[in-house]
Amino acid sequence: MAYNLKEVMTKPDRFTSGHRMCAGCGAPPVARMVLRAVKPEDHVVVSNATGCMEVSTCMYPYTAWTDSYIHTAFENAASTCSGAEAAYRSMKKQGKLPADKDTKFITFGGDGGTYDIGLQALSGAMERGHDMVYVCYDNGAYMNTGIQRSSATPKFADTTTTPAGSVIPGKAQCRKDLTSIMVSHHIPYVAQTLCMTNFKDLYEKAEKAIYTPGPAFLNVMAPCPRGWGYPTEMLMQINKLAADTCYWPLYEVVDGHYKINYKPAKKLPVEEFLKPQKRFKHMFQPGNEWMIEEFQRIVDERWQQLLDLEKLTNEEQA
């Protein structure tokens, strides 16, 4: 059935308003939309890594989650989820749970809890083949503790542990390509997306991830107004610019086949994405043009790689 935002929005919210996430934060729409992709009759166990989302959505005695929810620590949301999923399989097999009721297992973690401290737990859970979805909301730094760099932070970004100074111009290293690492796990479904065009791409990928048996990974860019330094009302524009500049390509990998889901008709120069963000402000100072060139080069290289992979993995066998 074709995606219809109006119809999707009539489904009851499983992630409710009243939480304490910042205005203009990219993460809550991700959680809300991913959960909308769950069939209304299915139950969900949400596992959440320590981070902004966790501290703002489940503060005793309140919760924004209408499904079952568990938070244990920072680095282990995936292993916690894998335990709950193992319990489900065991109890279902033994007839300890109703046979006609399905439970889905969805983990949310920021880039700190996913790319860095939680990478091992994530890798382990995916390799073990648990029927679960791991959703990384990637805001490109440790925002909860006050904007420290992560391995998802892009090169040159000004963070509180990579401050743009007179000698060192922000983060010195490139960002880790976690989505590729997850593709290398050869799990049934891996996708990268963000919130744009009426959430179609995110919704459809979430639905596939949730209803594909076995482990699935979604990497969702989720801008942070405090860490990135954009006006809160610009959230959706920033998302769109990330896609239109090919900074954050939208693609999915099924059974080793790459599919790029969005190819901008006109690929915008990366400045368009960088300019509205204070974390890249120093790149626009006279004499720093090389930084923008370097940034553009990285974006172009990775985009080309993706185009090549798409071609390579979809070629007809001779």
Partner 1 sequence: MGIRERLSGNEASAIAMKQINPDVVAAFPITPSTEIPQYFSSFVSNGLVDTEFVAVESEHSAMSACIGAEAAGARAMTATSSNGLSFMWEMIYIASSSRLPIVMSLVNRAVSGPLNIHNDHSDAMGVRDAGWIMLFSENNQEAYDNLIMAHRIAEHKDVLLPLMVCQDGFITSHSIENIELIEDEKVKDFVGTYHPEHYLLNDKEPISVGPMDLQAFLAEHKYQQAVAMRNAKKVILDVAADFEKMTGRKYSFFEEYRLEDADIAIVCMNSTAGTTKDVVDSLREKGIKAGLLKVRVFRPFPAEEIAKALSGLKAIAVLDKADSLNAAGGALFTDLTSAMYTNSVSVPTLSYIYGIGGRDTTSKDIESVYTDLQEVVKSNHIENPYRHLGVRGLN
A 10 A CB-CB count for 250 gives 23
Question: Cβ 3 to partner 1, closest distance in Å?
Answer: 27
Question: Cβ 67 to partner 1, closest distance in Å?
Answer: 5
Q: Does 21 bind partner 1 (CB under 8 A)?
A: no
Question: Cβ 282 to partner 1, closest distance in Å?
Answer: 35
151 Cβ partners below 8 Å, 6+ apart?
A: 111, 115, 116, 173, 175, 176
HSE-up of residue 168 (Cα within 13 Å, Cβ side): 12
Cα→Cα distances 174→120, 140, 150, Å: 20, 12, 10
Q: Which stretch binds partner 1 (CB under 8 A): 4-12, 53-61, 162-170, 174-182?
A: 53-61
Q: What is the crossing angle of helices 200-211 and 27-36, to 10°?
A: 50
Closest of 127, 73, 292, 105 to residue 212, by C-alpha: 105
Out of 5, 9, 39, 101, the only residue in the binding site for partner 1 (CB under 8 A) is 101
Tokens 């995916």 belong to residue: 126
Out of 28, 51, 88, 106, the only residue in the binding site for partner 1 (CB under 8 A) is 88
Q: Does 67 bind partner 1 (CB under 8 A)?
A: yes
The rounded Cα 242 to chain-centroid distance in angstroms is 13
Out of 17, 94, 166, 317, the only residue in the binding site for partner 1 (CB under 8 A) is 94
The smaller minimum CB distance to partner 1, of residues 79 and 151, is found at 79
- Total number of residues binding partner 1 (CB under 8 A)? 48
267, 269, 271, 277: CA torsion to nearest 10: 10
Structure tokens at 133: 């979805």
Question: Cβ 79 to partner 1, closest distance in Å?
Answer: 4
Q: Does 93 bind partner 1 (CB under 8 A)?
A: yes
Question: Cβ 288 to partner 1, closest distance in Å?
Answer: 41
Out of 51, 103, 106, 156, the only residue in the binding site for partner 1 (CB under 8 A) is 103
Out of 25, 36, 37, 69, the only residue in the binding site for partner 1 (CB under 8 A) is 69
The smaller minimum CB distance to partner 1, of residues 128 and 302, is found at 128
Out of 39, 96, 267, 278, the only residue in the binding site for partner 1 (CB under 8 A) is 96
Out of 66, 148, 237, 288, the only residue in the binding site for partner 1 (CB under 8 A) is 66
Q: Does 22 bind partner 1 (CB under 8 A)?
A: no
Tokens 């292993």 belong to residue: 79
Buried-state track 106-139, b at ≥16 Cβ within 10 A, e below 16: bbbbbbbbbbbbbbebbeebbeeebbbbbbbbbb
User: Would you tell me which residues interact with partner 1 (CB under 8 A)?
Assistant: 43, 45, 47, 54-55, 58-61, 63, 65-73, 75-76, 79-91, 93-94, 96-98, 101, 103, 120-121, 123-125, 127-128
